[in-house]
Structure 1
Amino acid sequence: MFSHVMVGTNDIDGSRAFYDALFAAIGGKPGFIDDKGRVIYVHGGAFFMISRPIDGQAACHANGGTIGFAMSSPEQTDAWHAAGVAAGGKSCEDPPGVREGGFGKLYLAYLRDPAGNKLCGLHQMGA
């Protein structure tokens, strides 16, 4: 359904350092900068981008919004979360762990990136 996700930032260099570390923890490559100054990540057929807002206004995070990243295991989810915290992100919600609900048993970890965007590492566990 989705072609890409883009988040805004007021600090391209700081956000790039954060996401380079975050995606390296799950086998991704560092982002590259396009001709408009956006940082682009390509992994597993998906695109994730960071950019200064086109309208010239300050970037802000979406209240109630979450961007979820698929993880292959609880261990990969923990490594992703630890890399994000080490690179300047902040852990949020409950600590990484198993949650059960309408989608079954999930292993989840939540972070806020340096710009305040809420991220989730999600591994769907077997039945």
Structure 2
Amino acid sequence: MARRNDPKGRRGTPEEREAIAAKYQDAVAQLQRTAYWNLRSTIASVCVFLGVFAILFIAWGEADGARLVPTLACAIGGVCGAGVYFSRPYPLLVRWLLLAAVSFTALGLAGLAIVAGTSS
């Protein structure tokens, strides 16, 4: 019931307002958790995508000589990225796998860029 003395036009008792505020905060927290998981899974998907191509290049024999080590680093990054999906119940493990996936993939891509720059 609205109070006539309330200058801001609030309705309900203080307990009802607190319950509504708590429900709103829970909804926002759930949205943030979902958004963070979506970001993590997108990053992991990119690492897996690049890792699949790295494994294909190794299988086809395209990654030989100086390109082999950076290509292997990309492949390891892809494997770590795939591990993110299987370890979802363990948030700390997900964080470390995602960090490893991004690190190995970035090192592999940087290595491939260096090798491509020096070979031309």
User: TM-score, normalised to structure 1's length?
Assistant: 0.23
Higher relative contact order (CA 8 A, sep 6+): 1
The structure whose residues are more often helix, as a share, is 2
The structure whose residues are more often strand, as a share, is 1
Instruction: Decide which structure has the larger Cα Rg and report it.
Output: 2
